[in-house]
Amino acid sequence: MKEIDSVSELKSAIQDLEYKQSCDWVLLKEQFTNTYESLKPLNLIKSKLKEMVLAPSLKTSILNSAIGFATGIIAKKVVVGKTHNPLMKLVGFAVELVVANKVAKDPEGIKSIAEVIFKGLLRKNDNSKGRNGHPL
Protein backbone atom coordinates (compact mmCIF):
# COMPACT_ATOMS: atom_id res chain seq x y z
CA MET A 1 0.00 0.00 0.00
CA LYS A 2 1.11 3.53 -0.59
CA GLU A 3 1.62 6.00 2.21
CA ILE A 4 -1.49 8.00 3.16
CA ASP A 5 -0.90 11.75 3.54
CA SER A 6 -4.38 13.24 3.90
CA VAL A 7 -7.69 12.57 5.62
CA SER A 8 -9.48 12.12 2.29
CA GLU A 9 -6.97 9.45 1.23
CA LEU A 10 -7.45 7.75 4.61
CA LYS A 11 -11.25 7.73 4.18
CA SER A 12 -10.89 6.38 0.65
CA ALA A 13 -8.54 3.62 1.83
CA ILE A 14 -10.95 2.70 4.65
CA GLN A 15 -13.85 2.51 2.19
CA ASP A 16 -11.80 0.30 -0.13
CA LEU A 17 -10.88 -2.04 2.72
CA GLU A 18 -14.48 -2.17 3.97
CA TYR A 19 -15.67 -3.03 0.46
CA LYS A 20 -13.04 -5.75 0.15
CA GLN A 21 -14.02 -7.10 3.57
CA SER A 22 -17.71 -7.27 2.60
CA CYS A 23 -16.87 -9.07 -0.65
CA ASP A 24 -14.64 -11.53 1.21
CA TRP A 25 -17.41 -12.11 3.77
CA VAL A 26 -19.90 -12.98 0.99
CA LEU A 27 -17.40 -15.38 -0.58
CA LEU A 28 -16.69 -16.97 2.81
CA LYS A 29 -20.42 -17.54 3.46
CA GLU A 30 -20.85 -19.10 0.00
CA GLN A 31 -17.86 -21.39 0.55
CA PHE A 32 -19.20 -22.40 3.97
CA THR A 33 -22.60 -23.25 2.46
CA ASN A 34 -20.99 -25.29 -0.32
CA THR A 35 -18.81 -27.17 2.15
CA TYR A 36 -21.76 -27.83 4.47
CA GLU A 37 -23.84 -29.20 1.58
CA SER A 38 -21.03 -31.39 0.26
CA LEU A 39 -20.48 -32.97 3.69
CA LYS A 40 -24.08 -34.13 4.10
CA PRO A 41 -24.15 -37.96 4.05
CA LEU A 42 -26.54 -38.19 1.11
CA ASN A 43 -24.42 -35.82 -0.96
CA LEU A 44 -21.25 -37.74 -0.06
CA ILE A 45 -22.87 -40.95 -1.27
CA LYS A 46 -24.08 -39.29 -4.48
CA SER A 47 -20.64 -37.89 -5.28
CA LYS A 48 -18.93 -41.25 -4.68
CA LEU A 49 -21.46 -43.01 -6.90
CA LYS A 50 -20.85 -40.47 -9.65
CA GLU A 51 -17.10 -41.04 -9.35
CA MET A 52 -17.59 -44.78 -9.56
CA VAL A 53 -19.85 -44.59 -12.59
CA LEU A 54 -17.51 -42.24 -14.43
CA ALA A 55 -14.35 -44.21 -13.63
CA PRO A 56 -13.17 -46.04 -16.77
CA SER A 57 -11.33 -48.65 -14.71
CA LEU A 58 -14.59 -49.62 -13.02
CA LYS A 59 -16.34 -50.05 -16.36
CA THR A 60 -13.49 -52.27 -17.54
CA SER A 61 -13.57 -54.24 -14.31
CA ILE A 62 -17.33 -54.81 -14.56
CA LEU A 63 -17.02 -55.86 -18.19
CA ASN A 64 -14.19 -58.27 -17.37
CA SER A 65 -16.21 -59.75 -14.50
CA ALA A 66 -19.24 -60.19 -16.73
CA ILE A 67 -17.14 -61.90 -19.39
CA GLY A 68 -15.62 -64.14 -16.72
CA PHE A 69 -19.02 -65.01 -15.29
CA ALA A 70 -20.47 -65.86 -18.71
CA THR A 71 -17.43 -67.93 -19.65
CA GLY A 72 -17.64 -69.80 -16.36
CA ILE A 73 -21.28 -70.69 -16.97
CA ILE A 74 -20.49 -71.89 -20.50
CA ALA A 75 -17.58 -73.98 -19.22
CA LYS A 76 -19.83 -75.54 -16.58
CA LYS A 77 -22.44 -76.42 -19.21
CA VAL A 78 -19.77 -78.00 -21.42
CA VAL A 79 -18.26 -80.04 -18.59
CA VAL A 80 -21.42 -81.07 -16.77
CA GLY A 81 -24.12 -80.99 -19.42
CA LYS A 82 -27.58 -81.95 -18.14
CA THR A 83 -26.48 -84.44 -15.53
CA HIS A 84 -28.34 -85.06 -12.27
CA ASN A 85 -25.29 -86.56 -10.57
CA PRO A 86 -24.47 -84.43 -7.48
CA LEU A 87 -20.73 -85.14 -7.81
CA MET A 88 -20.69 -83.91 -11.41
CA LYS A 89 -22.67 -80.83 -10.38
CA LEU A 90 -20.02 -80.12 -7.75
CA VAL A 91 -17.28 -80.54 -10.34
CA GLY A 92 -19.18 -78.22 -12.68
CA PHE A 93 -19.49 -75.60 -9.96
CA ALA A 94 -15.74 -75.79 -9.30
CA VAL A 95 -14.99 -75.49 -13.02
CA GLU A 96 -17.32 -72.49 -13.25
CA LEU A 97 -15.54 -70.71 -10.38
CA VAL A 98 -12.04 -71.44 -11.66
CA VAL A 99 -12.81 -70.39 -15.23
CA ALA A 100 -14.69 -67.26 -14.13
CA ASN A 101 -11.79 -66.16 -11.90
CA LYS A 102 -9.15 -66.86 -14.55
CA VAL A 103 -11.08 -65.01 -17.24
CA ALA A 104 -11.85 -62.05 -14.98
CA LYS A 105 -8.16 -61.72 -14.08
CA ASP A 106 -6.83 -62.18 -17.63
CA PRO A 107 -9.55 -61.20 -20.12
CA GLU A 108 -7.06 -60.34 -22.86
CA GLY A 109 -5.81 -63.93 -23.00
CA ILE A 110 -9.36 -65.22 -23.35
CA LYS A 111 -10.16 -62.61 -25.99
CA SER A 112 -7.15 -63.67 -28.06
CA ILE A 113 -8.10 -67.36 -27.75
CA ALA A 114 -11.69 -66.57 -28.76
CA GLU A 115 -10.41 -64.56 -31.73
CA VAL A 116 -8.33 -67.53 -32.95
CA ILE A 117 -11.32 -69.88 -32.55
CA PHE A 118 -13.68 -67.56 -34.44
CA LYS A 119 -11.18 -67.05 -37.23
CA GLY A 120 -10.82 -70.83 -37.49
CA LEU A 121 -14.60 -71.26 -37.62
CA LEU A 122 -14.92 -68.58 -40.28
CA ARG A 123 -12.15 -70.17 -42.34
CA LYS A 124 -13.88 -73.56 -42.05
CA ASN A 125 -17.16 -72.03 -43.22
CA ASP A 126 -15.47 -70.34 -46.18
CA ASN A 127 -13.83 -73.64 -47.24
CA SER A 128 -17.16 -75.50 -47.15
CA LYS A 129 -18.82 -73.02 -49.57
CA GLY A 130 -18.35 -72.75 -53.31
CA ARG A 131 -17.59 -69.63 -55.29
CA ASN A 132 -21.18 -68.28 -55.10
CA GLY A 133 -21.35 -68.71 -51.35
CA HIS A 134 -23.47 -71.85 -51.73
CA PRO A 135 -22.47 -75.17 -50.16
CA LEU A 136 -20.65 -77.53 -52.53
Domain residue ranges in the chain: 1-54, 56-127
Largest CA distance in the chain: 108
Query: pLDDT value at position 61?
Result: 78
Query: pLDDT value at position 11?
Result: 93
Q: 3-state DSSP call for residue 48? A: helix
Structure confidence by residue, pLDDT tens digits, 5-44: 899 999 999 999 999 999 999 999 999 999 999 888 888 8
Query: pLDDT value at position 54?
Result: 74
Helices (H), ranges, 1-136: 7-38, 41-54, 56-80, 86-105, 107-127
Query: pLDDT value at position 134?
Result: 53
Nearest 10 degrees: Cα torsion 66, 64, 102, 121: 80
Query: pLDDT value at position 132?
Result: 55
Residue 100 and residue 68 in contact, taking contact as beta carbons nearer than 8 Å = yes
Ramachandran bin of 135, using left for φ above 0, alpha for ψ from -120 to 50, beta for the remaining angles: beta
Q: Flag whether the pTM goes above 0.75.
A: no
Query: pLDDT value at position 66?
Result: 83
- Mean pLDDT of successive 10-residue stretches along the chain, which has 136 residues: 85 95 96 91 83 73 80 83 85 86 77 72 66 53
